[in-house]
Amino acid sequence: MSASPNLLERVGRATARGIAEIGFGASLLGESLFWLVLGRARRQPVRLPAIFDQAMEIGIRALPIVTVLAGTIGVMLAIQGIYSLRPFGAESRVTTGIALSVVREFAPLITGILVAGRSGSALAARLGTMHINQEVDALRVMGINPVRFLVVPALLAMLVMVPALTLWADFVALLGAGLYVSGELSMSLAVYAERCLESLKLNDLTHGLSKSAIFAMLITLVGVVNGASVSGGAEGVGRVTTRSVVHAISAIVVTDMIFVFAVTR
Amino acid sequence: MSPDRPNPIEVRDLVTHYGDRLILKGVSLDVREGEIMVIMGGSGSGKSTFLNHLLGLLRPTSGVVRLLGQDINAIGPLDLFDLRKKMGVAFQGGALFSSMSVGENIMLPLREHTNLDEKTMQIMARLKMEVVELAGFEHLMPAELSGGMIKRAALARAIVMDPRLLFCDEPSAGLDPVVSSSIDELILRLRDAMGMTIVVVTHELESAFKIADRICVLDKGEIIALGSVDEIRAHPSERVQNLLNRRTEDVTLDADAYLRRLTGEG
Ligand SMILES: Nc1ncnc2c1ncn2[C@@H]1O[C@H](COP(=O)(O)OP(=O)(O)O)[C@@H](O)[C@H]1O
Ligand SMILES: [Mg+2]
């Protein structure tokens, strides 16, 4: 009977929770910077091996799947590009469209989504499990700051590996598209490469890579915020894991749009 | 106790809430140097909450917790950091890091807080594993350990820095009687060998009577009895005796109140 006050209340609660989580994410980022800069002075340095471990997991292990998806997307873009230019008889101009859309949009986006699904969820699950098993409490009573020990290594690894993977995805997607184009349009791979490079400016590359760095940060913070908010045992861990993937991908897509809107017009 | 040397653990009028719900209703307790204090009470009496406040994991509404003479809710982060190196905690479920081997888990505090070389740290970790009778198991992962072994490994990690204060949450809960009593003996040995001040939280009577120098009985967020094992055993209070004899309270059932509860009225 009283559906609307109920609905209002639920919307209100969800909004309050969202704002609290964004605030938590922002303070985590600040605290991470603090430990990164002042950790050594506080006798709590951020350890390099921990960063390498994370970088292996987030970056190197993701290489095969990034390669496959980037190549596939390159071919798909080539097919669609040629199809859309055919009515104008301008198929040979397809390189510009491919080069720009891969480097500015598709490579960062697909890499971000992939890492969110692979590593953002894993981060949320790992932190959530540690939280429930009192491992986070154990760190605190040992005098080991959990943000310094768990969050900073993951954040740094993400900030290095996501742009690196994006650069690799740029290369693979352009190569995949090139292979298709050279077969379809009797354009040699060398000419294709030359035209790609002509249509790309440094700005396009930095546009894509800056976005991927922002995505890296979003994925980490969303994963950590969700992992830290877990309650209710193993089932709770499953819930926050799913939630973190959905949130991270939404954050990536929305941020992408805002970034493009602010920078490109 | 000489007046110039404060008790290692002093709690004064500790009041705590979860949200609006009052949990601890003004708890005061002193733990003396080198004694084993057992905090006992039924499930939900507030034992874990009390322990978490002793460890500085939660902030009280009011009241003071002083460890080794320092008010843990008032000192700066660097002092707290130094204080934490002098205390060890064995959590109920062990709280071993599942991504590290048992040996790595035990070495972690050394790795983080000392500049010892790898070899020395390994030797120190092995020494503590000998103490808890886990020698030779350092390469196993926590998932490969039995319940009793997890508790032992957690104890080894808790004492690896030779702390002055040791806290154990339900060290013998969920273990079979033989393993459980061997953990009790281990705790006694630790105190005798290292002179640590030890706080043990438990709801197991036998274990409490076996290891305690003094027992503090917590019920519904209040200390209802405090004293030696014999004093607690002979305590005149009915609430204490109910707890010792595992009788539930409120056996005289108020039929009307019961009915009101069931129907959700009042
Ligand atoms: N995180 C929490 N949030 C809200 N209430 C809690 C929380 N933890 C414990 N409680 C409540 O506080 C009371 C004391 O719990 P606890 O300290 O865990 O008791 P014990 O360890 O003696 O079983 C219980 O009624 C419990 O429901
Ligand atoms: Mg408890």
- The string of pLDDT tens digits covering residues B177-234 is 888 888 899 899 988 988 899 999 998 888 899 999 999 999 999 999 999 999 998 8
* Contact (CB<8Å) B93/A129: no
Cα–Cα dist B151/A61, whole Å = 35
B248 lines ligand 1 (CB under 6 A): no
Atom of ligand 1 nearest to the CA of B46: 17
- Does A188 map to a domain? yes
- Does A43 map to a domain? no
Residue B194, pLDDT score: 86
Does residue A258 have a pLDDT over 90?
yes
Q: Left (φ > 0), alpha (ψ -120 to 50) or beta: where does B170 sit?
A: left
B43 lines ligand 1 (CB under 6 A): yes
From ligand 1's centre to the CA of B45, what distance in Å? 8
Buried b (16+ CB within 10 A) or exposed e, A100-126: bbbbbbbbbbbbbbbbbbbbbbbbbbb
The percent of residues in chain A predicted with pLDDT above 70, rounded, is 98
Cα–Cα dist A17/B40, whole Å = 37
Could you give the number of structural domains in chain A? 1
* Contact (CB<8Å) A141/B87: yes
From ligand 1's centre to the CA of A242, what distance in Å? 28
Mutate which: A42, A142, A148, A152, vs B, most B CBs within 10 A:
A142
Whether the CB-CB separation of B168 and B152 falls below 8 Å is answered with: no
Q: φ and ψ at A192, to 5 degrees?
A: -55, -45
CB within 8 Å of A78: residues ≥ 6 apart:
A94, A98, A176, A177, A178, A180, A181, A184
B18 lines ligand 1 (CB under 6 A): yes
> Nearest CB to A138: which of B77, B80, B91?
B91
Number of Cβ pairs closer than 8 Å across A and B? 53
Closest residue to atom 7 of ligand 1, CA basis: B18
Q: Give me the domain span that covers residue A146.
A: 48-264
Kindly report the nearest CA distance between residue A49 and chain B, in angstroms.
13
From ligand 1's centre to the CA of B40, what distance in Å? 15
> Nearest CB to B84: which of A129, A135, A142?
A142
Atom of ligand 1 nearest to the CA of B51: 17
- Does A34 map to a domain? no
Q: Which ligand is nearest to the CA of B93?
A: 2
Share the mean pLDDT of chain A.
Answer: 92
Closest residue to atom 26 of ligand 1, CA basis: B44
Identity of residue A196: C
Does residue A143 have a pLDDT over 70?
yes
Please give the average per-residue pLDDT across A112-134, as a whole number: 95
B41 lines ligand 1 (CB under 6 A): yes
A92 or A101: which carries more pLDDT confidence? A101
Cα–Cα dist B106/A186, whole Å = 65
Please give the average per-residue pLDDT across A65-84, as a whole number: 96
Which residues of chain A make contact with B81, given a CB cutoff of 8 A? 42-44, 143
- pLDDT tens digit sequence for A181-222: 999 998 899 999 999 999 999 999 999 999 999 999 999 999
B221 lines ligand 1 (CB under 6 A): no
User: Which residue ranges of chain B lie beneath pLDDT 50?
Assistant: 1
* Residue B152: Cβ within 10 Å count: 27
Q: Which ligand is nearest to the CA of B52?
A: 1
The ipTM is 0.87
Residue B222, pLDDT score: 92
Closest CA to B207 of B179, B226, B227: B179
- Does A25 map to a domain? no
* Residue A246: Cβ within 10 Å count: 13
Residue B65, pLDDT score: 95
Cα–Cα dist B237/B240, whole Å = 5
> Nearest CB to B91: which of A42, A134, A143?
A134
Query: In this structure, what token pair is assigned to residue B213?
Result: 């120098």
Residue B247, pLDDT score: 63
Q: Is the pTM of this model over 0.90?
A: no
